[in-house]
Amino acid sequence: MADEIRIEVCTRIEGKLQALSSTFSEHTIFRVPRQLYEVNEKAYEPEIISIGPYHRGKNHLKMMEVHKVRFLGMLLDRTNGHTAELFVAALRGMVENACNCYSESSSISTEDFLEMLVLDGCFIVELIHQIFGGKLDEYVFRLESTLSDILHDLILFENQLPFFVLWELFGIMKGNGRNFYIKCLLELFSVDMPGLRVDVVYDNTSIRRVKHLLDLVHGNWLPSREVMEDYSQAPKDGKWSFIRSATELREAGIRFKKGEGNSLFDIMFRNGVLEIPMIEITDSTESLYRNVIVCEQFEKENPKYLIEFTTFMDCLINSEKDVELLRHCGIIENWLGNDEAVATVFNRVGDNVSVDVFCEFYARICNDVNEHYNALWNKRMASLRHNYFNTPWAFISFLAAAFLLLLTLLQTTFTIFPRH
């Protein structure tokens, strides 16, 4: 009996091992981890269009399925001589590799999966033509917000196509070349991602490193070259610690200034002044940050600039008073309506996000700021400002008390040393 149980269990395990997919190493498009998804589900959900299989078929996205077909028809009309068969044939041999890119298997048939690749990919190609050709489809874009909603959906972590599919479609289009479409895509997202480099050129070899559209955008959202050069020359001891809030740093004499850098990540600290580029906070900012951060979480070896940036800002912003200070300095442009909402964005965006013990990029800035804050004179001035000058009435009371003390001192002096 015992041998039968042993044989049965061994058979089961061997069957599972044989059935286990050998494509884990090929996965490049994943689901958002549950612990991140539950913090803000809406940030990861497409609003108007599904790309790829994960959100395909959801009721509120079905209307755009019709328009994907319409956009394919417009693309065929634009390219005389091209037929749907050309695109289908070009992508037919990619179905298996494309399917293996998704970490979660789906029940979509091979035919439906191929159709999805063609329609979703050609929609993106035609969208680029319409935006940069100066004429958007009047039916789809009747509302001004539709374009921003579509762009929002195109860089959601779960809403992606393998980039080699788009690269193949770009190659079919004659005249402009593949890198024309790359540049157009990067320019589209550079509005909301200051510092996104658009002057990049890919070839058939370098493009293999790009997993999907979000990965393309993330890989080119970098600090400016000047800041990168400065960072590369700075000594690195691998140690850093969190800094105080903006209001606490101001009390210690640290001033804030809107930085002149081109990139969101170009933060600098010089001569007691913390320079931070202007940060525009809109309704879509949290979703953008969260999806890029998930992308960084899955990239173990690449820099995590946005995670470090949002961690740095989370240190600076503890309450709406910190937001108010940074807003008055021209650093934060608030489109959410109130400062508390902005504070909430920065305080929540890092929830359940793993931060390396050694955040190298801002380590030197954190250490320099802490050294300035912890200097004896600055610390005493911070305590004085916090305890006695934190409100106008406290300052007035201090002046009144100082004036009375001076009068008392004068009266005592004249009593002891009367004038003759």
pLDDT in tens, 143-154: 989 999 999 999
The residue whose two tokens read 């374009």 is: 147
Q: What percent of the chain has pLDDT over 90?
A: 67
> Of 79-93, 336-350, 394-408, where does mean pLDDT reach its minimum?
394-408
pLDDT band at 14 (very low <50, low <70, confident <90, very high): confident
Please name which of 190, 216, 189, 188 lies closest in space to residue 201, comparing C-alpha atoms: 216
Q: Which residue has the higher pLDDT, 367 or 359?
A: 367
Instruction: Tell me phi and psi for residue 255, to 5 degrees.
Output: -100, 155
Q: Is the pLDDT of residue 34 over 90?
A: yes
The single residue listed with the structure tokens 């170009």 is 266
Q: Which pLDDT belongs to residue 237?
A: 64
Q: What is the pLDDT of residue 282?
A: 96
Helix (H, G, I), strand (E, B) or coil at 341: helix
379, pLDDT greater than 60: no
Tell me, what's the pLDDT at 398? 55
Show Cβ contacts of residue 317 under 8 Å, excluding neighbours closer than 6 positions: 245, 246, 323, 326, 342, 343, 346, 347
Task: List pLDDT tens digits, range 223-260.
Answer: 999 888 877 776 666 677 889 999 999 998 999 999 99
Q: What is the pLDDT of residue 410?
A: 63
Tens digit of pLDDT for each residue in 257-274?
A: 999 988 999 999 999 999
What is the reported pLDDT for 376? 46
**0.75 cut: is pTM over it?**
yes
> Which one-letter DSSP state was computed for residue 22?
S
The pLDDT score that the predictor gives to residue 77 is 92
Q: Is residue 31 scored above 90 in pLDDT? A: yes
> Percent of the chain, pLDDT > 70?
85
